[in-house]
Amino acid sequence: MTRVHNLGFPRIGHKRELKKATEAYWSGEIDGAELEARGAQLRERHWRIQQTCGVDLVPVGDFTFYDQMLDMSCTLGAIPPRYDFAGGEVDRDTFFAMARGSKTQPAMEMTKWFDTNYHYIVPEFHEDMEFRLSSERIFAQVKEAQALGVKAKPVLVGPLTYLWLGKEKDLDIAHGEAGHRHDEGCAGHGEAPRHSGFDRLSLLPKVLPVYAEILAKLAAAGVEWVQMDEPALVLDLPQEWLDALDTAYAQLTQGKTPKILLATYFESVADHAARLKALPVAGLHLDLRRTPAQRDVFLQNYPADKILSLGVVDGRNVWRTDLDAALELLAPAHKALGDRLWIAPSCSLMHSPVDLAQETELDDELKSWLAFSVQKLDELSVLARAIDKGESAVAQELEAARKAVASRKSSPRIHNAAVNARLQELGNDDGQRHSPFPARAQAQAARFKLPPFPTTTIGSFPQTPEIRKARLQNRKGELSDAKYHKMMEAEVALVVKEQERLGLDVPVHGEPERNDMVEYFGEQLAGFAFTRHGWVQSYGSRYVKPPLIFGDVSRPHPMTVEWAKYAQSLTSKPMKGMLTGPVTILQWSFVRDDQPRERTALQIALAIRDEVKDLIDAGIGIIQIDEPAYREGLPLKRKDWDKYLGWASRAFRISAQIAPDDVQIHTHMCYSEFNDILPAIAAMDADVITIETSRSQMELLDAFATFNYPNEIGPGVYDIHSPRVPSVEEMVQLMEKAAKVVPAERLWVNPDCGLKTRKWAEVTPALENMVKATQEIRQRLA
């Protein structure tokens, strides 16, 4: 029999119960016992759903109150000394302090999980670190599952991936003497200082005994299979790390342990096929959605003592699976492996929304094209029955899938001749602006007459509970469109007035009308659909609802122009228009899989270009096109980088190209490390880039200087992920540091990112200080 298993189920709950429970706990509304009870309820519900869908082996340990990497750090006792962990079991307060910071200590760093929009808590390592089993959570959850009659397959982050994704830190940082406190809003900061004399791989011999202890305990608890997630294997790992894989798994398979399923996903591991086949583990999992070609490489001489799990249902996207194609992909594997073939989603389903059944507002046709987590598991069950009992046993299901796939292919909703004609017309146009940067800079200086070190912000101002509540009431029909619009206008007026009072040189409208910087645009563009409940976790208790790109993209009407015009009418200063860029919209949406991403990006670029034109026609002279996901879109394998960076920078340029010389185009980036892609950032040719740098103390700018970045830069001087108000002196110092590496006439002053997650009580004094710091720096340096 073909076994169906799952790599992970979304933990957030159908109605975001996890978010509500954790936030209620943080605010003191519920106590720890209630939080645990709600967690247990969610786990039970999710296990039952998976059983009902026919999953034979159910993942356990995929549930966490914050992040699976943080759970692993707690299990291994990898607690940075600054949290004063006394040993024993890691308590809840320590766990959340590591995630979000405490009154006295900064949180741990957070960064992107591979090329997803999920962020994990980065393990911190120091040379003398000791590891010790410090959490019983995984064992307790296994027991909980077993008591419910669930066949549990515990999931652990494997030792190689765990170490690879962590960072060496100086002990003074681990002790909390450096760095700033930040809260749960912190996502993906710049490169943390690395300890030069120590390599985290040297910790492997210390970490393995704890893994061995965990495995032994799981075996004693009657566990048959453990899933070890080793997605780091899809990256370009150094040779010594690959060699360490052999050592690690040789050690972990000694003695009485459960069988190990080593899971890889997000890319191919075909380059390591021989090594992986020779590992003493009991099975491997491959992501065939990303790279179907892996199948044959692994099937060749696949060891007779191993099972092979094939991920044929996409865990990262929302489209219904073409079951015929999946069966075709599985047929040779079944022939070669028989019952040693397992099937699964390509990766954990935590990157997919929970249940399509909740989407009562989507039209039937579109809905028939989709599968969320629950439906994906149903698809696997159909595939298993088709393999085991023949296609006639699931004829109806296969026919329904066939119809849906055919309807999606041929639907007139997908194709828009005008969009394709525009792409055709674009030809190979590289999107260069009319004049090179120096000429543009001159025209812009003459038009805007900005002072040296101009001050600005990144776009959003606090999204207050009142704003969110009004939006919800409007959606429910309890607040009319007119009243909602008036409320948002009042907010814009308040934000503009506050910026005038503060003396900011380039104001923004504050983005109060936007639920999210991508979803807002997705809701207005043709070719996009949006869901009511399609949330996925972005980090901790922060979730996003990615729009669905199902067809050719175009812009039926202006999206931001009225807001920008209104904001401009309130001030004589140049109002900065605010757009999200094509790569970020692409990256943070569920994208169509029937055409290359590049083509979809270009379509979005043309839609954004239309908006840029309308903003310009409305008199807006400065326009920011945000690209925080530019780095995240980078392929996981270096060999694929150039191709991506070529089309990504072109898509950005195409969106901005229409701007005449005296229109200043800004872009903004955050949440990533940029040093390795500076030429591609320069190739975007934005007049000004505002970029996250304050947390790394402007380290990033060294790279900008070395590369001789040609255009203007606003290195963030205020870490908006922290509630802490930076002092004037601190920001002066950061600017002085910046002015040492970038010519003063090319520098701007601004925060690291948007202020939407902050409170006014933090924002106002921080911006006051930022303006004071600028006045000082002008006196000293201008």
Ligand X SMILES: CN1c2c(nc(N)[nH]c2=O)NC[C@@H]1CNc1ccc(C(=O)N[C@@H](CCC(=O)N[C@@H](CCC(=O)N[C@@H](CCC(=O)O)C(=O)O)C(=O)O)C(=O)O)cc1
Instruction: Count Cβ atoms below 10 Å from residue 11 Cβ, excluding itself.
Output: 21
| Residue 80 makes contact with ligand HCS by CB under 6 A | no
SS3 128: coil
CB 444 within 8 A of CB 661: yes
- Which residues participate in the annotated binding site? 16-19, 112, 117, 458-460, 511, 588, 626, 632, 668, 670, 692, 753
Shortest Cβ 590–ligand X spacing (Å): 11
User: What residues from 22 to 81 belong to the interface with Zn ion (CB under 5 A)?
Assistant: none
- Confirm or reject binding of residue 517 to ligand X (CB under 6 A): yes
CA 272 vs CA 246, 296, 502, 628: distances in Å: 11, 13, 57, 32
Residue 241's contacts (CB-CB under 8 Å, 6 or more residues apart) are 160, 164, 201, 232
CB neighbours of residue 346 within 10 Å: 25
Minimum CB distance to Zn ion smaller for 367 or for 724: 724
Instruction: Report CA torsion sign: 580, 581, 586, 588.
Output: negative
3-state secondary structure 419-466: HHHHHHHHCCCCCCCCCCHHHHHHHHHHHHCCCCCCEECCCECCCCHH
Q: Does 588 bind ligand X (CB under 6 A)?
A: yes
**Residue of 670, 684, 741, 742 interacting with ligand HCS (CB under 6 A):** 670
Q: CB nearest ligand HCS: which residue? A: 754
In whole angstroms, the minimum distance from the beta carbon of 767 to Zn ion comes to 16
**Residue from 153, 668, 695, 721 that binds ligand HCS (CB under 6 A)?**
668
Binding string to ligand X for residues 451 to 470, with x set by CB under 6 A, is what? --------------x--xx-
Q: Which of 223, 245, 380, 458 binds ligand HCS (CB under 6 A)?
A: 458
For tokens 């939080």, the residue is 35
Contact 722, 183 (CB under 8 A): yes
Q: How far is the CB of 348 from ligand HCS (least distance, A)?
A: 25
User: Under the criterion CB under 6 A, does residue 107 sit at the interface with ligand X?
Assistant: no
Q: Using alpha carbons, select from 264, 261, 107 the residue that is nearest to residue 174.
A: 107
From the list 5, 14, 533, 721, the catalytic residue is 721
Cβ-based nearer residue to ligand X, 249 or 461:
461
Q: Where are the alpha helices (DSSP H) in 639-721?
A: 641-656, 678-682, 699-707
| Partner from ligand X, ligand HCS, Zn ion, none binding residue 459, C-beta < 5-8 Å depending on class | ligand HCS
Binding flag, residue 655, ligand HCS (CB under 6 A):
no
Residue 65 burial class via C-beta count within 10 angstroms: exposed 0-12, middle 13-18, buried 19 and up: buried
Please list every residue from 547 through 606 that binds ligand HCS, using CB under 6 A. 578
- H helices then E strands: how many in the chain? 28, 21
721 is catalytic: yes
Tokens of 206: 């210390």
Q: Site size for ligand HCS, by CB under 6 A?
A: 12
Whose Cβ is closer to ligand HCS: residue 517's or residue 645's? Answer: 517
d(CA 5, CA 309): 9
Instruction: Please tell me whether residue 757 binds ligand X under the rule CB under 6 A.
Output: yes
754 binds ligand HCS (CB under 6 A): yes
From the list ligand X, Zn ion, ligand HCS, none, partner contacted by residue 757 (C-beta under 5 to 8 A by kind) = ligand X
544 binds, among ligand HCS, ligand X, Zn ion, none (CB under 5 to 8 A by kind): ligand X
Locus of tokens 């740098």 = 693
* Residues in contact with Zn ion by the rule CB under 5 A: 628, 670, 753
Q: Which residues make up the interface to ligand X (CB under 6 A)?
A: 117, 187, 465, 468-469, 471-472, 515-519, 538, 542-545, 588, 628, 671, 757
Residue ranges binding ligand HCS (CB under 6 A)? 458-460, 517, 578, 626, 628, 668, 670, 753-754, 756
